[in-house]
Amino acid sequence: MRLILNLLWFVLSGVWLAIGYAIAGVIACVFIITIPFGLASFRIAGYVIWPFGRTVVDKVGAYQSAAGVGNLIWLIFAGWWLALLHLLAGALLCITIVGIPLGVANFKMVGIALLPFGKEVVSVEEAKRRGAVIDAALAEG
């Protein structure tokens, strides 16, 4: 089931979202000081291209103060409109019955689009091993 959902996701929204995040990552990496934001964008691009079977968890050993500052800057300059785009894409995908799981997956990505620092993408199995709370929409697929 994950494979089918990932293939549908890839065609209907994953490839477009990943391209957008990758372009944003390249732009952010042009300026030396914004390289961490570019790397975060690339990390999200890798997640949005094939999300089912993977989930977002808190990063072990992350520096919370640095992540907080990075998240605040990200939220002001990029996070709010990325989250808005995920909400819009999710609403459009939910129009059809087939698109509902994909729309829900878009809604679940709003969190990482808003605040990506201090988070990491892992497989569902790894998240369960760590004892993390799994978001069912992307995990079960």
Instruction: Give the mean pLDDT of the chain.
Output: 88
Please list, residue by residue across 54-78, b when 16 or more beta carbons sit within 10 angstroms of its beta carbon and e when fewer do: bbbbeeeeeeeeebeebbeebbeeb
Q: Which of 132, 113, 136 is nearest to 53 (CA)?
A: 136
Question: What's this model's pTM, rounded to 2 decimal places?
Answer: 0.84
Please list, residue by residue across 118-127, b when 16 or more beta carbons sit within 10 angstroms of its beta carbon and e when fewer do: ebbbbebeeb
Q: Which of 113, 96, 78 is nearest to 121 (CA)?
A: 113
Q: What is the pLDDT of residue 124?
A: 87
pLDDT, tens digit, 9 for 90 and up, residues 26-74? 999 998 899 999 999 999 999 999 999 898 888 877 677 788 899 999 9
